Amino acid sequence: MKKIMFVGRSECGKTTLTQALRGGTIAYHKTQYVNHHSVVIDTPGEYAQTANLGRALALYSYEADVVGLLLSTIEPYSLYPPCVAACANRPVIGIVTQIDQENGDIERAHHWLEMAGANPIFHVSSYTGEGIWQILSYLKEPGDVLPWETEEEANQRRVVLSDKNREF
């Protein structure tokens, strides 16, 4: 698998997506440091929320094959400067997260990621599983075995045990 680094503001869904891509149950913790999972480098939201995003991209993207800029459908504005993708020495893809949110705006998030220079752009919900297969297929390299064999299996609703704000 290609190794992807997730960047995005706090609460956009980086950690949840990291877990959803691995399969199994989703359980929560606040991301305090850079976590290396097998294919995902999960970063604290603070990287995206300071003026140093470009620097963080330039530095940490060396560890990754691909950078994923995440933006949720419920974010009220974009933190990504136009063309910030150019700061990374790696391909930069966009991931619109939380597409299951009733009040979310998928098109708006998509457009902001386009302006940041991300390409291609995926739409995903870590809860319903929609779009998980498409991301895994993008990251897949010859010979890789995915956690699921079919798109239907991958794009299944996840078991969410707890989250930081609400009880399930």
Binding region for ligand GDP (CB under 6 A): 8, 10-16, 31, 45, 97-98, 100-101, 125-127, 163-165
Among ligand GDP, Mg ion, none, the one that 105 touches (CB under a kind-dependent 5 to 8 A) is none
By the rule CB under 5 A, 31 interacts with Mg ion: yes
Strand-pair partners of 122: 95
Per the DSSP assignment, residues forming a β-bridge with 68 are: 6, 93
Residues 1-20 vs Mg ion: string with x where CB under 5 A?
A: -------------xx-----
C-beta of 61 vs 126, nearer to ligand GDP: 126
**In the complex with ligand GDP, which residue's Cβ is closer, 25 or 89?**
25
Q: Which is nearer to ligand GDP, 31 or 155 (CB)?
A: 31
Residue 16 near residue 27, CB atoms below 8 Å: no
Q: Of 23-31, 99-107, 120-128, 157-165, which segment contacts Mg ion by CB under 5 A?
A: 23-31
CB 80 within 8 A of CB 72: no
Question: Which residues, including other chains, have CB under 8 Å from residue 125's CB and lie 6 or more apart?
Answer: 97, 98, 99, 100, 131
Give least dist CB 153 to Mg ion, A. 25
Distances in whole angstroms, Cα of residue 120 to Cα of each of 10, 45, 103, 114: 22, 22, 24, 9
The Cα angle at residue 130 between residues 126 and 131, in degrees rounded to 5? 95
Which residues are near Mg ion by CB under 5 A? 14-15, 31
